[in-house]
Chain A
Amino acid sequence: MDLDPTLLARIQFAANITFHILFPAITIALGWFLLFFKLRFKATKDAKWMDVYFFWTKIFALCFAIGVVTGITMSFQFGTNWPGFMTSVGNIAGPLLGYEVLTAFFLEATFLGIMLFGFKRVPSWLHSLATLLVALGTTLSAFWIIALNSWMQTPVGFEMRDGVAFATSWFDIIFNPSFPYRLTHMLLASGLTASFLIAGISAYRWLRQDRSPAVMAAIKCGIYSAAVLIPIQIFVGDLHGLNSLKHQPQKIAAMEALFETQRGAPLVLFALPNEETKTNDYAIQLPKMASLFLTHDRDGEVKGLNEFPGNHPPVKPVFWAFRIMVGTGILMLIFSWSAAWCLARRNSLPRFLAIGLIPMAFSGWLATESGWYVTEIGRQPWLVNGVLKTVDAVAKVPSAMIGISLTLYLILYAVLLVAFITTLFYMARRAGEKGKDDSSPSAGQAIVEIIAE
C-alpha cells in the first residue's frame, strides 16, 4: 500500500499538536488560579485555600510535565517532517521560537521546581513569587507561540528574496493583524478550560460526599470565573471571526459552507456540505443571519468558496469543527450561568447540575481543539498564508518510516490520555479520603510555619 508521505506527516503533526495543546490549555490559566489560591490564603489565613492550592498544584505538575515532553516532540518535528518551513520562513519563525524558549520556557520550568517542592524551603513571599513567575512564564509562552501562529495566518512585516522570507519590521511581525484576537481568544479559552476542569473535578468530589470547605471553594471559584469568562469569550470570538473575514475570507466561507458569493447569506445550523455538488444537503438554516453576523447587515455580501478556486480549505472539517466549538460554548454558557445562579441563591448545587459538570470538566478541551481545527485546517492549502504551501514544506522521508513513528505516537498518546484522565479522578477520590480522616499533618504544620512568619 502506498500512502502519501505528506498526508502521513500532516496526520502525525496534527496528532502531536492535538495532544500537546490539551495540557497548555490547562496550565496557562491554572497557573493564575494557583496564584489566586495562594494569595487568598495569605489574605484570609484560611487553610482551605492551601488545600485547594496543593491539590491543584499536583495536577498542574502533571499537566506541565506532559506539556513539556510533548512540546519537545514538536520542536523536533519541525526538522524531521517540515524542513521546508524553516528554510523558507526560518528568519521569522526562528526568533519567535527562540524568544519563547529563552523568555518563557526556562522561567516556567525552573520556578516550577521551587513552586512544587520549595514550600518549606523558601520564604512564603518567594514561593508566591515562584508561583507568579510560573504563571507569567506559561502566558509568555502562549504569547510567542500565538504570535508565530498568527503570523502564519496573516503574514506581514517581511519581504521575500529568492524564496526566503526576511524580516523588515519585527513590530509588524509580532503584532500582525490577527494576533491580538487570536491571543485573547486562546487565553480566554484556557481560562474556560481550567475553570470547567476545576469545577468539574470538584463537583465529582462533592458528589462523593467530600464536604471539605476546600471543595466548595473550588467549585465556586471555577463556576464564577467560567460565568464571567464565557460571555467575554463569545464577544471576542465574534471579533476574531470578523478579523478572519477581512484577512482570510476563504476560511469563513468554509466555516459557513458558503459555496457561492451571495447577499443575505443564510446561517447554516446543520447540513451535510457536499463539495462535489457544491451544495448543502439536508440544510437547516436561518435566512440572512450569516450576513447579519458577519457584515452586521441583513443583506451584506459574503464571499463564497467560488471566489477561491483550488485555494480554499476542505469544507467539511472546518464546517463541523466550527459548529462543535460554538455548540460547546453555548453549553458552557448554560452550565456556568445556571450553576452560578444556584450557588449564589442557595449556596449549593442541585444534584443533576453537579453530575452534568463532570463531563463538562473537559468541555474546554473540546472547544479549544475544535477551534484550533477551524483555524489550522482553515489555513490550508497554505502553511504560511499566501507564502508557503504545506506540500512544499514536507520532508522527503519514506512513508514507511513516518508510518512507524506515527503508529508509536498514536499508541503513546492514547495510553497517556487514558492514564491522565483516570489519574485525575483517582487523585480526586484520594483527596476526599484523606480529607475524611484528616491525616495531613505535614500540610498543617507547613501552614503553621508560614503563618508564623
Chain B
Amino acid sequence: MEIFANGAWLPLIFAFLMGLSMLIYSVLDGYDLGVGVLMRRATDEEKDRMIGSIGPFWDANETWLVLGVGILLIAFPLAHGVILTNLYLPVAFMLIGLVLRGVAFDFRAKAKISHKAVWNRVFFGGSLVTGFAQGYMLGGYILGFKEGWLAIGFAVLVGFCVIAGYCLIGAGWLIMKTDGELQRKAVKWAKLSLRGTVIAIALISLATPLVSPRIFEKWFTMPSILFLLPIPVLTAGLVVMIEVMLRRLPMVGDRFCWVPFALTVGVFVLCFGGLAFSFYPYIVPDQLKIVDAASAPESLVIILVGALVVLPVLIGYTFLAYKIFHGKAKDLSYD
C-alpha cells in the first residue's frame, strides 16, 4: 500500500483529465450534433452549408469521446465496467446513432442525388438519437443507476435537456460560421433552444437534490453554499447575456457573431463544474470512489507521461485546424 499512498494524487489527475475530455467533447461534438438536429429545419441548400461548416472538424471532435471513455477504461477499469454495463442499452443506442450520423455525413455527399434526402434524414435522426442517449446516460449516472419510473422519467428529462443544449451551441456555431438568411434562421433557432435549455437546466437543478439526498447535503449546507452560489448566479448571468445578444444579432459588419457561441461554452463549463462538484469524490455516484477504482500507479504514470507530452501538441494542431478553416463556411468541397 506504500506505492498507492505515494500515487494517491494520480487518480485525481486522471479524474480531472477525464472530466476535461468529456467537457471538451460535449462542447465540440455538441455543436456538430446540434447542427445535425437543426438540419431538419433547413432548406436543401442550407443543409449543404451547415454540413460544410462542421465537415473538417467532426472526426476529430468525436475523438474526444474516445479519449474520455478511454481514460475511464484505462485509469478506472472498475468504474468503466460498472457504468457501461448499467447503461448497456442507452450506450448501444448512442453508438448506433453515432455510426448512423457518421456514415450519413459521408454518404450524403457521395451517394446518388436521389438518395441524398434519405441520408440527410439519417444524419438528423442519428444526431438526435446520439444526443438523447447521452443525456439519458447522464441522467442515469446522476442518480447512481437507480431503477423505477421516476429514475427513467428523470433520465428522459436530462435527455431532452442535452438535446436543447446541443441545439443551442449548434445554433451559436452557425451564427458564427454562416451569414445571410441561414444566419438569421440560426439566431431564431438559438432563441428557441435557449428557452429549452434554461427550462431543462432549472428542472434538473431542482430535481437532482430532491432525488439524491447526498447531493442535497452537499449543495445546501452552510460553508459550501457560499462558494457554490457563483455557479447558478453566473449561469443565469450568461443566459441573460445570450438572450440580449440574440435579440441584437445579426449586427452590421457581422460584429459579435461569435459571442453566443462563446457564452454558451461558458454555460456548458459551469453546468459541468456543478455536476463534477456534485459527484466528487465518487466516480460511480454513491458506490465507488475515484481512488478505489483506479489502475496500478505504474500504469497510470506511463499514460500520464505520454499524455503530458502529447496533449499540448494535440491542442496545438487542433487550433491549427480551426485557424485554417476559420471564417464563414462554404459548401463542402474536396478541392
Point out the residue from B56, B298, B314 that lies within 8 Å of A117, measured CB to CB: B56
With A69-B102, A113-B57, A118-B325 already in contact, the answer to whether A94 and B74 are too (CB < 8 A) is: yes
Complex CA distance for A426 and B325, rounded to whole angstroms: 30
Query: With a CB–CB cut-off of 8 A, which chain A residues contact B43?
Result: none
**Contact with B92, one of A95, A122, A404 (Cβ below 8 angstroms):** A404
Q: Could you say which of A80, A114, A167, A405 has the most chain B C-beta atoms within 10 Å of its C-beta?
A: A80
The chain B residue with its CB closest to the CB of A105 is: B63
A residues 90-133 near B (Cβ < 8 Å) are 90-95, 97-99, 101-103, 105-107, 109-114, 116-122
Q: CB-defined interface of A43-67 with B at 8 Å, one 1/0 digit per residue?
A: 0000000000010011001101110
Whether the Cβ atoms of B74 and A95 lie closer than 8 Å is: yes
Q: Assess A102 versus B302: contact at CB under 8 Å? Given A80-B85, A91-B296.
A: no
**Nearest CB in chain A: distance from B108 CB, A:** 10
Q: Which of B77, B85, B111, B324 contacts A423 (CB 8 A)?
A: B111
Q: Which of A363-410 contact B (CB under 8 A)?
A: 395-397, 401, 404-405, 408-409
Q: Shortest CB–CB separation between residue A5 and chain B, in angstroms?
A: 11
| A98–B302 alpha-carbon span in the complex (Å) | 10
Smallest CB separation, A386 vs chain B (Å): 21
Interface: A1 (CB within 8 A): no
Bound-state CA distance A345–B66 (Å) is: 50
The 8 Å CB contact of A72, one of B73, B95, B324, is: B95
Q: Are B88 and A397 in contact (CB under 8 A)?
A: yes
B257-296 toward A: CB 8 Å interface, digit per residue (1/0)? 0000000000000000000000000000000000000011
Count chain A CB atoms within 10 A of each CB in B70, B92, B105 and give the residue with the most.
Answer: B92
Of A97, A110, A170, A443, which contacts B60 at CB under 8 A? A110
Q: Are A423 and B110 in contact (CB under 8 A)?
A: yes
Tell me the residues in window 7-66 of chain B with beta carbons closer than 8 Å to chain A beta carbons: 55-57, 59-60, 62-63, 65-66
Q: Report yes or no: B81 in contact with A87, Cβ–Cβ below 8 A.
A: yes
Contact B103 A419 (CB under 8 A): yes
Judge whether B55 and A113 touch: CB under 8 Å: yes
Residues of A near B231 (CB, < 8 A) are none
Give the residue of B81, B100, B112, B295 whose beta carbon is less than 8 angstroms from that of A395. Answer: B81
- In the complex the two chains form, is B98's CB within 8 Å of A116's CB? no
Tally of chain B residues near chain A (CB < 8 A): 64
Given A120-B335, A122-B324: A87 and B84 interface contact (C-beta under 8 Å): no
Interchain CB contact under 8 A, A170 and B302:
yes
Chain B residues closer than 8 Å to A58, beta-carbon distance: 110, 334
User: Is B306 in contact with chain A by the CB < 8 A criterion?
Assistant: yes
A68 in complex: contacting residue of B59, B296, B314, CB < 8 Å = B59
Q: How far is the CA of A105 from the CA of B70 in the complex (A)?
A: 12
Q: Once the chains are docked, how many angstroms separate the CA of A62 from the CA of B109?
A: 10
Q: Is A427 in contact with chain B by the CB < 8 A criterion? A: yes
- Does A277 sit at the interface, judged by CB under 8 A? no
* Inter-subunit contact B77/A109 (CB<8 Å): no
Contact B334 A94 (CB under 8 A): no
B299 contacts A91, CB within 8 Å? Answer: yes
CA gap between A376 and B288 in the complex, in Å: 34
B211 within 8 A of A: no
Please, how many angstroms separate the alpha-carbon atoms of A91 and B92 in the complex? 26
Contacts of A94 in B (CB 8 A): 73-75, 77, 295, 299, 303
Measured in the bound complex, the distance between the Cα atoms of B65 and A101 in whole Å is 10
B233 to A: closest C-beta gap in Å: 36
A84 to chain B: which residues have CB within 8 Å?
81
**Does B244 belong to the interface (CB within 8 Å)?**
no
Question: Could you tell me the distance between the alpha carbons of A119 and B102 in the complex, rounded to whole angstroms?
Answer: 22
Q: In the complex, are the beta carbons of B299 and A95 less than 8 A apart?
A: yes
Contact A405 B88, beta carbon cutoff 8 Å: yes
Tell me what chain B mostly uses at the interface: helix, strand, loop, or mixed.
Answer: helix
A163 to chain B, nearest CB (A): 13
The smallest beta-carbon distance between A299 and chain B, in angstroms, is 47
Residues of B with C-beta under 8 A to A64: 59
Q: How far is the CA of A120 from the CA of B110 in the complex (A)?
A: 20
What distance in Å separates the Cβ of A71 from its nearest Cβ neighbour in chain B?
Answer: 7
Contacts of A408 in B (CB 8 A): 92, 96
Query: CB-CB < 8 A to B155: which residues of A?
Result: none
- The answer to whether B56 touches A102 (Cβ under 8 A) is no
Choose one: A110, A118, A422; the contact of B317 (CB below 8 Å).
A110
**Chain B residue at minimal CB-CB distance from A93:** B74
Note all chain B residues with C-beta closer than 8 A to A121. Answer: 324-325
Q: Does B171 sit within 8 A of A, measured CB to CB?
A: no
Q: Does A75 contact B (CB under 8 A)?
A: yes
**Given the contacts A91-B295, A401-B89, A442-B333, A80 and B84 also touching, CB distance less than 8 Å:** yes
- Neighbouring B residues of A160 by C-beta, 8 Å: none
Interface presence of B107 (CB below 8 A): yes
Closest-CB distance, B288 to chain A (whole angstroms): 13
CB distance from A126 to the nearest CB of B (A): 8
Asked if A412 lies at the interface with its beta carbon under 8 angstroms from chain B, I say: yes
CA distance A106 to B318 in the complex (A): 9
Q: A64 vs B69: C-alpha distance in the bound complex, in angstroms?
A: 20
| CA of A199 to CA of B318, assembled, Å | 35
A69 B99 Cβ-Cβ under 8 A: yes
Residue of B60, B67, B75, B77 with most chain A CB atoms under a 10 A cut-off: B77
B contact residues around A446 at 8 Å (CB):
335
Q: Is B91 an interface residue (CB 8 A)?
A: yes
Other-chain contact of A86, B62, B81, B98 (Cβ < 8 Å): B81
Cβ of A110 and Cβ of B318 under 8 Å apart? yes
A285 interfacial contact with B, CB 8 Å: no
**Are A395 and B85 in touch, CB under 8 angstroms?**
yes
Known: A98-B303, A102-B306, A120-B335. A62 touches B110 (CB 8 A): yes
Q: Are B56 and A114 in contact (CB under 8 A)?
A: yes
Contact between A109 and B306 (Cβ–Cβ < 8 Å)?
no
A231 at the interface (CB under 8 A from B): no
Q: A66-B106, A116-B55, A412-B96 are in contact. List 20 more A-B contacts (CB 8 A).
A: A54-B335, A61-B334, A69-B98, A72-B65, A72-B95, A76-B69, A80-B87, A80-B91, A83-B81, A95-B306, A97-B70, A98-B70, A102-B307, A105-B67, A111-B321, A114-B324, A167-B296, A397-B85, A404-B92, A405-B89
Can you list 6 pairs linking A and B with CB atoms under 8 Å apart? Answer: A62-B103, A66-B103, A91-B296, A99-B306, A395-B85, A401-B89
The 4 tightest CB contacts between A and B, nearest first, are A83-B81, A94-B74, A79-B84, A113-B56
